Each structure stands twice: as C-alpha cells, then as structure tokens.
Structure 1
C-alpha cells in the first residue's frame, strides 16, 4: 500500500488543532474576545460570529472524567453526555472554562437535563429545538435564533446587524465549500488518502477560531492531494465504507481504526463531523437572514427529528456518489435516538440501496477494541 509521502504531517497538524487551540482560546480571552461554546450541529454559529465572538465545540470525547460525572448523573447514560458534563464540572476542558456562555439545545432528554445541572455553575443559553421539520417548526426555530441574537446583544452590550450576519454566512459557507471539496477527493477509486486522515482534517477544522482561514488551508491540501493522485500516488483498491451514526471523535476513533486496519477504507462520513454539518449551505440570496439560517440548520437530518427523511436522503446520495460497498453505523450506549433509528437505517441500506450494514454499539472505554476488530473484520471479509 503506497501512502502519500509528504502529506502525513499536514494531517497531523489538523489532528493537533484541538490541542493547539487550548492556548489559542486563552489568548483570545486575554484580548477580550467573547467565547461562545456549543454542543451541537444545530447551533447557528453565524449569529455568534456576527458579534465578533469565537465559537468552539464542547462535546468531550474521552472517558477521563466519566467517574466524576457519575456522581451526579446515572451510569446508564450516553458517554458523550457524561464526558461533556464531567469535563465541565471538573474544569478540565479549557474551552468550557473560557466560554462566556454555553449554548445548549433541546435535542435529547439526557442533554436537556445535563444543561439544567450545568446552569448551576455556568451561563447556559438553551435553544428550543423543534423535533419536527415542518413550517410550524421553522417558525419556532427562526424565533429561537432571533431570541439568541437578542440574548447576546444584551449580555455583551453589542448590536448585531443583519449585514454582520450576512458576512458571517459568507465566511462559513466558504469554509463548508472547501471542506466539501476535500471530502469529495474520496470519490476517486482507489482513494488518494485513508479515511482517518480525512477525518483528522474535518474534525480539526471545527477548532479553527478564525473561520476565514479554513478555505486557503483546505484548498491547498486538496490541490496537493489531487496533484499527487494524478502522479499515481494512491492507496490500493479496497472495500469502500460509509460511516454513520453518533458523533465521532477522540475515543470513538477506535471504530475508524478498526475499519481501516482490517482492510477497508472509510470514504465518507455522514456523522455530525462529516457531511451532516457541511453538506447544506445557508442561502445567501434569501433577504431574510433569520429565515435563511433557520431553514439551513433545521434541515439537518439528525435522529432527534421525527420523521427524519433528510438523513435518509443524505445517506442515499452519499452511498451512490461514493460507490459505497458497506455501511458501518456507530451508536453510543444509551443514545436512544440513534439506537432506535438504527432499525430504519438498516432497512434503508439493505432494502433500498441493496448493500450490507453493520451496527456497532460502543462507549468511550477502550475495553471493546478486540471485539470491535473481530466484528468489523468479519463484516469486511463478507464484502
């Protein structure tokens, strides 16, 4: 298998981005830049950006603080919630520590209750996310985005203009376009890079405080990958996997590693860190910026939505465009929405798309790595 020689250090830079941003967030704080932390892909980032704030994702991805979290939270709760709460409570997450406000959203029951406890030691702004995607839901979500804007204006004594929001929309759309170009390099067969390296860039880019920097960095990387591919540098041909399910990162990258160390390659990610958060742009032509933002964010196909046709639409498109041989879904223990929806995803993948599907349920410990490898190796063997 020939790996591209000059690229690994670039992927490692993106992989290290989260750690490097620990120092960056402190520096921003010292400069008086407001920091807004959030936990979800539904967070309308552009509103905070329009105020000149830096935004950062707060979902924790390690089991380090789970024992501390379990003093307050039940053991049979999703590890993402326990980890996030644990890092917040123990002040072990610099991003949470330096955040002036944390934005929550009413996605799942566990998170809603977590935000209640969290608000005892941090400013938490909770957005009422509808659990459907019709016109009435859109009205509610638009009013929540306006309420969030008014909250920021009052809290930080600023005025957020529609022109500021339009500018933030343009900046974020440019970043999404570039990241889309990056994951589209995986349409090549054989692929130019491994899926874990692709993930490092997608995940690392979420910790870039200046979103304006993303296009130049990512476009240069895409150009390099395409150039080297044209020169014949690529991986060998192997089964092509679509990765879907719960948010992935940190401890759960063990699933990506299990796929790629057993002879397959992840060609596309439907998860929050992948296509789900980059696929749709905000309509820059819509004169009503709040309507444009509400439509774009509400249309995300997350398992908290009932029904959830947008997830199936995106999955179907990715399966076709990336010539996928099999789908691996990762669900976290006690994540009820994704675990329940796994049944309809399996049915869709098997019956509508006619390809194999595997669901692996896991948590943030490393205890199940052997079992994961056994199950995933057998699945890939079958392909």
Structure 2
C-alpha cells in the first residue's frame, strides 16, 4: 500500500513544476543559457533546442494582472491574451522577466496586435502562421521556421546547423512518445488516475527545462501508476469525458474539477494543453529538416485554421480509443474561432459519434464555479 501514499506526492511534484521553475530559470540565466518565452504549440521547439536554448510558456491563466492589462487592451478581449500581456507589463512573471526573446505566432488577431505592445517591454519575434493547411501554407511556414532560425542566430550570435536540428528532432520525438505512453494510461477502464492528476503532469512537463530528462521521469511515473493499478483499482467506473477547445490551465482547471466533483472522470485532453501538439511526430527520415518541422507543426488542428479537418480527425480517434461517453468543449470568452467552431464540433460529436456534447464558455475568474457545477451535474446525470 506504500504506492498509494507516494503517488499523490508525485503528481503534486509535477504541479509544483511551474513554481520550482522560477528558480531553475534564474539558474539558467546565471549560466548564460538563452531563455526563449513562447505562447503557442506552433512554436518549433527543435530550433531553439538545437542552439542549446531553453524555452518556457508565457501563456498566463490567472486574472491577477488583467485589470492592469485592461488599461491598454479592450475589456472584451480573450482573458489569456490580457493575462499574458498583464504579466509582461507588470513584471510579475519571472519567466517573462528572464526571457531574452519572446516568440509569438499570428494565431489570432488579438494576439498579433498584443505583440505590438509587448515589444515595448521585450524583444519580440513574430512568426507569420498561415491560416490554411495547404501546399502554399506549408511553403510559407517552412520559410518562417528558417527565418526564426536566422533571427536566433543573429540575436544570440550562434550558428544552428541542420545536424543540430536533427538531433533536437530526435529528443523532442522521444519526449512526445513518453508523454503519449503516459497519458494513454487513461485508456484503462476504470481509470488509474484522475484527469486532475493527469493534467498536472501535462502542464508540469512544459516547465521542465531539461527536455532530455523528461522521458525517464515520465516512464518512472508510468510504472508507478501501473504498479498501483495492479494492486488495487482505486477509482470506480464513471462516465468518461474528453475535453477539447481552448488551452486550459491555472484558473480554468475549475472545469476539470467541476466534471470530476460531479461524478465523471476526464480521460483525455484534445486541446493544446494536451494531445493536440503531441500526437504527431516529426519525420526523422526527411532529409529536409525544415520541411519536416513545417509538416509536423502545421498539421496541428487549431481553430485558427480554415478549414480545420485535423481537429476532427484527432477527436474521432480519441473518442474511440478512450471509450468516451461525452465531450466538453471549453471556450475562453471572446475566443471567436473556437466559439464559432463549436457548431461543427457539436454536429460531429452528436451526429457522427452519437455522443453527448456540451460547450462551456468561461474566463479566469471564480465567479462561474457554482454555475459550472450545476451544469456539469446535469450533464453527467444525463450520461
């Protein structure tokens, strides 16, 4: 029974990764290792890894700095954009403070305009993301990855070779495979862990600066979770929920909690906090490393793409693989592309997969927790 006392502590260790990462970020700066702040899963991390730089997510998920952000930005703007900008403006985020360069992508109008103001605080490089997954879009994205490489070389006075990028591709693919192997434990029924604990690991690994150490840590955790599962089925069978939609974390973890407090369990995260950026590998056999990176990253099924068939493809596979009973689509207030796309996702889930669907529009406040619990209780009861 010793494992039962060990496992919660291990999940908490991943949950603490962001806070512990503040000290790690300072250590990185003390060693003169470049730190690059990023906002999106479209950022090709292999290019930064190839030059020995560390990367960290700057997407904020707290309403702490939103009032300060609203002095410059519209109130009716996505809370993620306002929060991220607010932490940069107020210097309340150590990751932003220690970042030598900020890299953004033109995923949405709000972000790309926000970057213009962000440049007042830090050097910012913006990658022009195509909004269509086409041959022309692929050419544009490949050129943008090359332009990013050239910017990094100039900014940090380094040379990034194609061989270094190939090595970085292998490292990131190993990380993705280890992550998939871990979160696929939730295919088991009953589940071996709650969605809340799974999410701590998904988020926690994004604040691990030593990317090469991640596979070993995840494999060790996977073995411990399986060992406990063989001893005792800790959780009973419950309705199985997949979360899709906008990125979640921090304040929006209230959605996961509301689902699991009301009798269901979250078994899968399709959004970019989960499987969206991890499911596909970079082709290690492609001699053109920039084309290989462009193909992998442009295939991400984000609602900023028009049309967006890859999101449906991923959802179709995950609903089957994880034996999903219902889908919850999380929409951040004023995220227009994901909000508009709820209709097509609802049609797919209800009509094609014959599963229950619910969309939830929320922000980073705690004001809607009561309403969330009421809605989730009714949704789970229906299942």
State if a TM-score over 0.5 links the two structures: yes
Equivalent residue number for residue 125 of structure 1: 125
Equivalent residue number for residue 188 of structure 2: 188
Q: CA deviation at 1:198?
A: 0.3
Equivalent residue number for residue 343 of structure 2: 343
- Check the 8 A contact 2:138/2:298 in 1, yes or no: yes
- Check the 8 A contact 1:246/1:272 in 2, yes or no: yes
How far apart in 2 are the matches of 1:202 and 1:338?
22
How far apart in 2 are the matches of 1:217 and 1:315?
28
Q: CA deviation at 1:234?
A: 2.8
1:288-331 deviations in Å (ceiling 9; x for gaps): 10000000000000000000000000001000000000001110
1:78-123 deviations in Å (ceiling 9; x for gaps): 0000000000000001111111100010100000100011112210
Q: 1:52 and 2:52 equivalent? A: yes
1:236-260 deviations in Å (ceiling 9; x for gaps): 0000000111000000000000000
Equivalent residue number for residue 249 of structure 1: 249
How far apart in 2 are the matches of 1:191 and 1:358?
22
Equivalent residue number for residue 354 of structure 2: 354
- Check the 8 A contact 2:190/2:233 in 1, yes or no: no
Equivalent residue number for residue 275 of structure 2: 275
- Check the 8 A contact 1:4/1:193 in 2, yes or no: no
How far apart in 1 are the matches of 2:159 and 2:115?
27
- Check the 8 A contact 2:330/2:360 in 1, yes or no: yes
Equivalent residue number for residue 107 of structure 1: 107
- Check the 8 A contact 1:331/1:339 in 2, yes or no: yes
Equivalent residue number for residue 217 of structure 2: 217
- Check the 8 A contact 1:132/1:307 in 2, yes or no: yes
Q: Kindly tell me the number of residue pairs found equivalent between the two proteins.
A: 381
Equivalent residue number for residue 240 of structure 2: 240
1:23-74 deviations in Å (ceiling 9; x for gaps): 1101100110000110000000110110110000100010000000000000
Q: CA deviation at 1:4?
A: 3.9
Equivalent residue number for residue 65 of structure 1: 65
SS at match of 1:137: helix
- Check the 8 A contact 1:132/1:305 in 2, yes or no: yes
- Check the 8 A contact 1:4/1:233 in 2, yes or no: no
How far apart in 2 are the matches of 1:228 and 1:76?
47
Q: CA deviation at 1:232?
A: 2.5
SS at match of 2:6: coil
How far apart in 1 are the matches of 2:217 and 2:97?
28
Q: 1:324 and 2:302 equivalent? A: no
Q: 1:376 and 2:376 equivalent? A: yes
How far apart in 2 are the matches of 1:305 and 1:85?
24
TM-score, length-scaled by structure 1: 0.98
Structure 2: stretches of 5+ with no match in the other structure: none
How far apart in 2 are the matches of 1:364 and 1:4?
32
217-226 vs 305-314, which moves further: 217-226
SS at match of 2:207: coil
How far apart in 2 are the matches of 1:68 and 1:358?
33
How far apart in 2 are the matches of 1:26 and 1:344?
45
SS at match of 2:268: strand
How far apart in 2 are the matches of 1:4 and 1:188?
18
What is the 5 A alignment of 1:269-308? 269-308=269-308
RMSD of aligned residue pairs (Cα, Å): 0.8
Q: 1:95 and 2:95 equivalent? A: yes
Equivalent residue number for residue 314 of structure 1: 314
How far apart in 2 are the matches of 1:4 and 1:185?
17
Equivalent residue number for residue 200 of structure 2: 200
